[in-house]
Amino acid sequence: MLGAIIGDIVGSIYEFNNIKQKEFKLFDPKAHFTDDTVLTIALMDAILRGADYGRVLHWYYLQYPNASYGSYFRQWAAKQSEQPYGSWGNGSAMRTSPVAYACKTLDEVLTMSKRFASYTHNHPEGIKGAQATSAAIFLALQGESKKAIKNYITKKFNYDLDRKLDNIRPTYRFEESCQGTVPEAIIAFIESTDYEDAIRNAISLGGDSDTLACITGGIAEAFYGGVPRDIVNNSLKYLDNNQTRSILSFYYKYSFQPSF
């Protein structure tokens, strides 16, 4: 959750200015939250209140109209549409991290992540990306090993997680699909040594940097038992008070210990 949001903030300045290395300033003054953060918090809010996620998405779009949404989502939200638009984009995966905290079983995770993805991303690949991300976070929260997480995701979703970052990085380009983003984000987590290293791994690939780091960050937070406090404190400077309150409320209800 906050781990995903931090990945979004850190990666925001590299989305269209890729950096193919791990050495960079973690929090740049020009960094900012994007639609990844807005829609993740919107999902937290919808789950907390038991509200219709479609209506909540419309409301958050109006509150944060300049958060670099994808063109299809922007059209959908601006029209206050109630029908999904068949997307296979990575937007379903970047916003799904709260699902893993709100569910008690893996089957429930798969069901709920599909339901929330399908408000917009009802294409099979869009659903698959959200389910794989949510499942990886849930398994990490349950204390499963990286090997167990990798094996489950590979078998259940047929993602190729045997590749190495050093082999992916040279030719990896901007990719908005779940199928071209979620496996790479999970590999960035698998090869990491701690939360910060996971974020650096994801951003070093290039591509859709904020979303890659958002997906990776959500898994890494769950696996490593939270986010280092100095990173949390720096990230909160980029969020407004309403966003911070929403995040705190969700943690206090669904997490054993807030990250901040």
pLDDT in tens, 239-258: 999 999 999 999 999 975 55
Close Cβ partners of 39 (under 8 Å, ≥ 6 residues apart) = 57, 60, 91, 94, 95
190 inside domain: yes
Examine residue 148 and state whether it is found in any structural domain, yes or no.
Answer: yes
pLDDT digits (tens, 9 = 90+) for 9-26: 999 999 889 999 999 999
Closest CA to 196 of 26, 37, 1: 26
Q: Which residue has the higher pLDDT, 152 or 259?
A: 152
Whether 260 maps to a domain, the answer reads no
Per-residue pLDDT, averaged over 146-174, amounts to 97
Overall domain count for the chain: 1
Torsion sign, CA atoms 206, 197, 25, 259: positive
Residue at 22 is within a domain:
no
Is the pLDDT assigned to residue 260 strictly greater than 70? Answer: no
**Sequence-distant contacts of 26-30: CB under 8 A, at least 24 apart:** 26/196, 26/199, 26/231, 26/234, 27/234, 27/235, 27/238
In a domain? residue 24: no
State residue 13's pLDDT score. Answer: 96
Q: How far apart are CA 42 and CA 44, in angstroms?
A: 5
* pLDDT tens for each residue of 23-64: 999 999 999 999 999 999 999 999 999 999 999 999 999 999
56 domain-assigned = yes
What three-state secondary structure class fits 166?
A: helix
| Structural domain boundaries, residue 233 | 2-17+30-254
| Residue listed under structure tokens 């950096």 | 19
Domain presence at residue 8 = yes
Question: Per-residue pLDDT tens for 122-135?
Answer: 999 999 999 999 99
Q: Tokens at residue 180, please?
A: 């071209």
CATH number of the domain that residue 79 is part of: 1.10.4080.10
Would you say residue 259 lies in a domain?
A: no
DSSP 9: H
Neighbours of 158 (CB within 10 A): 11
